[in-house]
Structure 1
Amino acid sequence: MLERIAAGDSSAVNECVDRYGNLLWSLARRYLRNTSDAEDAVQDVFIEIWRSCARFDPGVASETTFISTIARRRFIDRLRQSGRTPAMDSLDDEEGAPVDPGVAATVEDDTEVAIVARVLADMDPEHRKILGMSLYEGYSHSEIAEQLGIPLGTVKTRVRRGLIHIREQLQIAVGDTAGESPE
């Protein structure tokens, strides 16, 4: 679909809005918690998708990954501009955070997206599914536990370990390991 948008297919733009609108709205509400800000941010994300779709490489990441990465960066940028911090719940909260803003903010370019995609591809399928549901599909930890029929604590642990592993791999790849350690 993103290739079709890049080629100027207006029906693909509508398809993108239909397919990803709910996901983006959910992510915006989790980050911003203000309906007006969330509406503006989602609109900004669709504009950025339209501008960036020519850079999409299906060999590097899925459409959902590409779009979610753009969205998270835009939402975090909006928060930084307003001097606020993400309104997302902590990883220790029962509802759980669908994304670690530190990891999302780190994913700045296609190379880093490729690293994240590689790390996810190398994970055990069950861990990858849980992390994917949290990172890319916007499910809370409680929702993941309920859908998969596993304890909430297990979901939290797997998401946390997965995010730490991704952060470590990004730090190694960009040579940014000086004095920093994952939480």
Structure 2
Amino acid sequence: MSTPVTTDPAGGLAGGDEATLTAAYRRWGPLVHVLAQRALGDSREAEDVTQQVFLAAWRGRAAYRPELGSPGAWLTGITRHRIADALAARTRRAALVEGAGAQYATLDHRAAEGMDSAVDRTLMAQELARLTAAQRTVLRLAFYEDLTHPQIAERTGWPLGTVKSHARRGISSLRARLADDADDADDR
């Protein structure tokens, strides 16, 4: 049985009316997409942000207070946060690539000996497997699914501080183990 369409978009969103969410998407989706496109400069990323905004609106509908602002203003606020998350993820990816490049630069002699990326992926998988399950989960979500710490906390149900601690400890462990492996290789 379908829910009747609420004539009040604010009340309908707050009340969890799916038809109102659909109407809100039709009405404010283009605005959200344009804001994301302008900020990110990438249509595909803007589409992802638009989807994330409306998913966040649906999930967070209980926190929406119509008396504090219009649905459009609320969605614009969510958009701003999702754009910031996308830009932060972009920065993290660039830093990761740069860091990996620096790490591999110290291992150039291995590349000269014909070591290919499959071996490196296997090594990384083995090192990830040595981490605790929580650290491994956080790092895989962060690097393979490109999720932010708040998004990881939301997906796992863990507190944000716990997610950050697992990420920090996991990266420290990986860094130490990879440095030890590099030192061992230099000694050979």
TM class, shorter-chain normalised?
A: 0.3 to 0.5
- Structure of larger gyration radius: 2
The two structures have a TM-score, normalised by structure 2, of 0.42
Q: Which one has more relative contact order, counting CA pairs under 8 Å at least 6 apart?
A: 1
Taking structure 1 as the reference length, the TM-score comes to 0.43
Structure with greater proportional helix content: 2
